[in-house]
Amino acid sequence: MPNDHYNTLGVSKDASDDEIKKAYRKLAHKYHPDKKDGDEEKFKEINSAYQVLSDNQKRQQYDQYGQTFDQAGAPGGGAGFGGAQGFNANFEGFDFSSIFDDFFGGGRRRSQSGAVQGSDIKVDLTISFKESYFGVKRDVSLYKRTSCENCHGNGAEPGTPIETCSTCNGAGKVTQQMQTVLGAFAQSKTCPSCKGEGKKPKTPCTTCGGDGRVNADVDVSIAVPKGIADGQTIEIPGKGEAGRSGGSPGNLYATVHVQKHKKLDRDGDDLVALLPISFTQAALGSAVELTYFDETLEVAIEPGTQSGYIHRLSDKGFQNPSTGRVGDLRVHVNVVTPRKLTKKEKELVKALQKEEGETSVVKEKSFWSKLFS
């Protein structure tokens, strides 16, 4: 009975990608054949489990059918048709992979020569509000499949030839005849010996085992453009996992998460700032300094300015990465009423009240509730 991949790595069935990766690294380090107490069979078992559970599509097939259909044989982990009384069709040796691939579009892109494109990698990248405005470069560490340096990705031990596959005679496919209660079946499937390449190394590479790829830690630099918004994704072509048998590498996709700022906000491509001023500055007019990021601007407050007035400065907002358009800096004025007054201040306010006559009370929405209305 085949081993349970989750038990092999010691993780639960709902384990995250990071949990699976951490478990694999720990066990692979422990059982590596090059170590004194290493266990080659256990190491192969761990690698086999990780190859399935680290690939979202293979993991989905494994969870649903008990195997990934990469090898001949009926779907494992289930009773098949044998559980139905009076009907026990034997499909042993029949490869369902092509059937399920037709339904689910399974597998990485494969060329006629057998080359398989590498898998894409997705990462999350958290940056500050300021970095989203100016742009930034970030290095991320990836644990991924890379081209084997020992064999340069061809899977053969250096100095040894690559021969025509004797199983399929170079065709890359084999035909399998089956007799079942449903009738005779003839199925053409990918050659299990050469994996569809039509050729295979005479002596597999001792470093990668003939796969042409190894797992390694790789640092990748990501250029985050200025003006990027929260939730946007950056595509870095060719920085995913290495392809197999000469296939091109996959891509790296970094989804950006922008942290909140205490005093600034974003609305579309506009940068939004709140400028608190005093009652006297609003009534008499003033020049008030506004600091945003590393720049200080002087904002002219006209006499009689009301709370909620918006002062707009062109081309001071975010630059849209797609269009190149630069938004505005919107300065929202907030007239602050003092909570405590000195005796002299009270006298002056009362004198002003007397001068104005009867006090009028205006009920308005709070500043922030109408800020983006």
| Span 229-273, pLDDT tens digits | 999 999 999 999 999 888 899 999 999 999 999 999 999 999 999
Which residue would you say has higher pLDDT here, 368 or 59? 59
- Residue 47 confidence class, pLDDT cut points 50, 70, 90: confident
CB 321 within 8 A of CB 227: yes
Cα distance from N-terminal residue to C-terminal residue, the chain: 64
pLDDT in tens, 152-162: 998 999 999 99
pLDDT in tens, 138-181: 999 999 999 999 999 989 999 999 999 888 888 888 887 766 65
Q: Which amino acid is at 312?
A: R
The stretch 172-195 carries a mean pLDDT of 76
pLDDT of 45 > 50? The answer is yes
- Which of 101-105, 157-161, 198-202 has the least mean pLDDT? 101-105
pLDDT of 77 > 80? The answer is no
Q: Quote the pLDDT of residue 363.
A: 46
Q: Quote the pLDDT of residue 199.
A: 87
C-alpha distances (whole Å) from 70 to each of 51, 57, 67, 297, 324 are 11, 12, 8, 64, 47
Residue 243 Cα to chain centre, angstroms: 19
Q: Quote the pLDDT of residue 288.
A: 94
- Residue 198 confidence class, pLDDT cut points 50, 70, 90: confident
pLDDT of 56 > 90? The answer is no
- Residue 196 confidence class, pLDDT cut points 50, 70, 90: confident
| Architecture (CATH level 2) of domain 264-370 | Sandwich (2.60)
Q: Which structure tokens are listed for 320?
A: 């849209």
pLDDT of 373 > 60? The answer is no
Q: Quote the pLDDT of residue 31.
A: 83
Q: Which structure tokens are listed for 122?
A: 């997705």
pTM of this prediction? 0.61
- Residue 216 confidence class, pLDDT cut points 50, 70, 90: very high
pLDDT of 122 > 70? The answer is yes
The stretch 314-339 carries a mean pLDDT of 94
